[in-house]
A = this chain, B = another copy of it.
Amino acid sequence: MAETGFQDQLAQTAVATESALDLLLSPEAAAGETVRPGRLLEAMRHAMLGGGKRLRPALVAAAARLFGVDGEGPLRAGLAIECVHGYSLVHDDLPAMDDDDLRRGRPTVHRAFDEATAILAGDALQTLAFDVLADERTHSDAAVRIALVATLARAAGVGGMAGGQLLDLAAEGRFGGGAAGLMAEHDVAQLQAMKTGALLEASVEMGAILGRADPAARTALKAYAKALGAAFQVADDLLDVEGAAGTVGKATGKDAVAGKATLVGIRGVEGARLRLEQLTDDALVALAPFGEAAEPLRGAARFVAMRDR
């Protein structure tokens, strides 16, 4: 079963990622560093270790494997994306942002440490992502490494994840703008494509870069990743209304409380479910050129649509 294929990939990636992060965040200073202050390192470890589905690293691995590439390259590219994802969660949880006390059932970084440490831990995690990509263990060819850097930077910046997070706060009326409920569906889709989609798309793209995919394959994978990213967010919105806090590991029903515009709010639960099915189909259709070899990526699309947290 395809889902099993991707679940295997997820499980393997989770173990490899956890252990690689543990090494990456070891107390010994790396070459070119002075010392690693213990408190900062501990906060980074708190943010990164002991949890997380490692969906993004698994997507890198599954996309690279489509071209016969596995091993340390996809693992390290996955670490880099996971560091950017982790930094964004640490900063999103801050009192000035979403003000969350819990993340994956554990205290958020600013609750376990303090706000200043959480800000710096997020900052240092973003830096670490690029440090990891620049290292020649990621790929022997500098041109491949710099393409990974460019892809991740474009996905994370003002026109990607960080920009999407700002639009998300604006949609909550945080900057005195109009009511969130008035947002058009295409605005919600764009916001979510930036906030969540960009990094998921970058995961697939980075796998394709490591696999030295040709332009046609890159285009097909881009369409796949776009649909996958959108499906992820619709599934997330559905979880927010349907999930129980115990399963989801964070507070639920927050979107409604925040007056946040979501697809569920615009189309209702059934409409959102239909949209999720359509997006999943779009993702599967985009994989048609790859035949059997793309089964793990198909499994990823089904996993994203069916996940319960």
Contact = CB atoms under 8 A, between A and B. Distances in A.
14 contacts: A30-B154, A31-B154, A32-B155, A33-B158, A34-B193, A34-B194, A35-B190, A36-B159, A40-B162, A127-B162, A133-B149, A135-B150, A142-B142, A149-B149
A interface bracket (residues with beta carbon within 8 Å of B): 35 or more
Interface string A192-209: 011000100000000000
Contacts of A157: 33, 124, 127-128, 131
Nearest to A122: B123
Given A120-B166, A146-B146, 16 more contacts: A29-B159, A30-B159, A33-B157, A34-B190, A35-B159, A36-B159, A39-B170, A41-B158, A94-B119, A116-B166, A127-B157, A127-B158, A130-B152, A135-B150, A142-B145, A149-B149
A22 interface: no
Interface of A: 29-37, 39-41, 44, 87-88, 91, 94, 96-97, 114-117, 119-120, 122-124, 126-128, 130-131, 133-135, 141-143, 145-147, 149-150, 152-160, 162-163, 165-167, 169-170, 174-175, 190, 193-194, 198
Query: Chain A: interface secondary structure?
Result: helix
